[in-house]
Every structure is written in C-alpha cells, then in structure tokens.
Amino acid sequence: MKKLFTEIPFLKGKRIIIKQIEDKDADNLIKLTENPKVYRYLPTFLFEKKYRDMHVVISKLYTECIKESLILGIYLNDSICGLIEMYGHRDEIHKVSVGYRLIEQYWGMGIATEALSLLVKYLYDETDIEIITASTMVENRASANVLNKNGFTKVVSGVGEDWGYDLPKIVDKWIR
C-alpha cells in the first residue's frame, strides 16, 4: 500500500478523469473560483483562493499545497469541470478528509458522485487510508446526497466549525 501524497494519482471513470491540474485549465478554474454560488457552502481558506492569479495557484498546487492536501482536477471531455481534494491527513490513524466542488454548469449531472466514488476506491484500494471523513454545511443537501450515494454515514449533525467566516458554520460530519 502506498502512503498518501507520495504520488499524484490519475483516476479514470466511465465519464470522467481525475488528474493533476495544468496551467491550460486556468480560465475554467477562474469560472469556478469567481462564482459565489459555488463557494457559498465552502470554507474561505481553500488553496485555490489563496492567490489572485490562477496561474500562480496552479504553479504551487503540487509543491506548496501538497504538504497539507492534494487538489486534483475533475475532467469531462478533456475539460476541467471541478476540483476534488484530500486534506487533513492524519498518518498515525490512516485518515484523510475529502471535499469537492464543480463549475456550476456541471451541477446535477452525477459528476461529483462519480468523482468521489473514484477517489474513495483509490484511497481504500491503493493507499493505506482506512478512514475517510467529510464535512458539509447543513443546508448543502446536494453534497449530503453525494456523500450518501458513496456510502458515507452522518455521525454528527449541526455542530459549529470554523470555516474562516466571522461566526462558526453549522456543519454535519460524515465518515466512511
């Protein structure tokens, strides 16, 4: 079994591919990061929001960012349509957290469900990860559905968590 973050995976599903993000994806990533509807249910401190220039973000994703998390692109028909991330790695207990976000035009197509399924399979089959967790704002029903479809169980409901806003966000905690 591989240790997490020792390689950048390439995962191929029925419709999508999950892989390393390239500089050519910058324009589509700007569509993602500048859409307030996409980020209304997400923390304020996500790596893709750290720098103003998306080319800089991409150039640092697999050097600076990989120490704490791994962000990969979700591709449909060779075009990036979202991001999927592994973060909060705890090597001593073989645990990682996951998150995902899609460009709005790709919502409701099952892409997040397929992407998470591919990532879960990779984590359990090819790495030493034994526990996968996720957090969602309670009002984010779409993300809760993605987690349910992928076998996650809600273990804590309606707890406050610091997501970088003035007040804690009320979230549900999930595990698989």
Angle (deg, nearest 10), helices 141-149 and 111-126: 40
**CA quadruple 22, 23, 29, 34: dihedral sign:** positive
The side-by-side arrangement of strands in the sheet containing 95-102 is: 11-12, 16-19, 69-76, 79-90, 95-102, 131-137, 169-175, 153-161
Q: Is residue 58 part of a domain?
A: yes
What average pLDDT does range 11-22 have in this prediction? Answer: 97
128-147 pLDDT per residue, tens: 999 999 999 999 999 999 99
> Cα(72)–Cα(7) distance, rounded to whole angstroms?
12
d(CA 139, CA 134): 15
64-82 confidence digits (pLDDT tens) = 877 778 999 999 999 999 9
For residue 66, tell me if it sits in a domain: yes
Boundaries of domain holding 61:
11-175
Amino acid, res. 129: I
Domain count, the chain: 1
Which CATH number do you get for residue 114? 3.40.630.30
Q: What is the pLDDT of residue 52?
A: 87
Section 103-120 average pLDDT: 97
Assigned domain for 4 exists: no
Lowest average pLDDT, out of 44-48, 59-63, 157-161, goes to: 44-48
